[in-house]
Structure 1
Amino acid sequence: MPKVLIVDDIRSEVQLIADALTPKGYDCIQASNGLEAVERARTELPDLILLDVVMPGQDGFATCRQLKRDVTTKEIPVVIVSSKNGESDRFWGQKQGASDYLTKPFSPDDLVTMVRRFV
């Protein structure tokens, strides 16, 4: 069963994503901030990371950069999932190593389609 790490500080957002992916056969694990995400990624080695940008402490861009510089996690695809939908946000996400960018709000079908591209 493919493992997806969902990183978001808003519990309802995590639940929304997990509710869309779990019935499709994905094992969803979670982290509520960037530092926890890096630690979970190192220990759990998920197949994909869905990463929010706006979080307390370390934001998603810095977290993505850290994941991509770590020999243990650098090959794990990261999809930024954020309400920040400007072209500069997408560009910055790519510069940090994100594989793709999904803008909130999204439909469950769009989310599953995105996840299937990587897992």
Structure 2
Amino acid sequence: MARILIVDDSPTEIHALRTMLEKHGHAVTTAESGEEGVAAAKAQVPDLVLMDVVMPGLNGFQATRDLSKSDETSHVPVVVVSTKDQATDRVWAMRQGARDYITKPVAEKELLQTIGKYLNA
């Protein structure tokens, strides 16, 4: 199936997302910060990135902007996965280059439907 990069500083969130994705045959790699996520995405060029927002250092909005503006990764869909659920957060994520936005806690069905829009395109 797809190669998906999860960028999140929470081991619990990484475990939950990884479990849902691997159960459906996706290959998962992880990064624990925005900086690691940008480096991993540029090195691996995954099929999709799941990006947390609230992280120390480079936050998810900044990392998404870096990926969407980079020649190596601008074609890779970034889906923001965050506890921030304000309309302004969603708008800002899209302005940074995110393709979609999911609010935590993530429901497996919603996750699979959302990423399916970009993996089956």
**Normalising TM by the smaller chain, what interval?**
over 0.9
SS in 2 for 1:80: strand
Match for residue 77 of structure 1? Answer: 77
Correspondences of 1:25-44 after superposition (within 5 Å): 25-44=25-44
Q: Distance in 2 between matches of 1:110 and 1:22?
A: 15
Q: Distance in 1 between matches of 2:61 and 2:71?
A: 18
Does residue 52 of the first structure (1) align with residue 52 of the second (2)?
A: yes
Output the CA distance in 2 between the equivalents of 1:24 and 1:99: 22
Is 1:15 matched up with 2:1? no
Q: In structure 2, what is the Cα distance between the partners aligned to 1:115 and 1:20? A: 12
Indicate the SS of the match to 2:91.
helix
Structure 1 residue ranges (4+ consecutive) displaced by more than 2 angstroms after TM superposition: none
TM-score (norm 1): 0.97
Equivalent residues in 2 for 1:82-97 (5 A)?
A: 82-97=82-97
Q: What's the secondary structure of 1:102's corresponding residue?
A: strand
Return the offset for 1:60.
Answer: 0.2
Q: CA–CA distance in 1 between the matches of 2:67 and 2:30? A: 15
- AA matched with 1:46: P
User: How far apart, in 2, do the equivalents of 1:11 and 1:112 lie?
Assistant: 20
CA distance in 2, matches of 1:98, 1:21: 20
Q: Which runs of 5+ in 1 are unaligned?
A: none
Aligned-residue offset at 1:115:
1.4
What is the TM-score normalised by the length of structure 2?
A: 0.96
Superposition deviation, residue 78 in structure 1: 0.2
Q: Which amino acid aligns with 1:95?
A: R
Matched, 1:113 2:107: no
Residue identity matched to 2:36: E
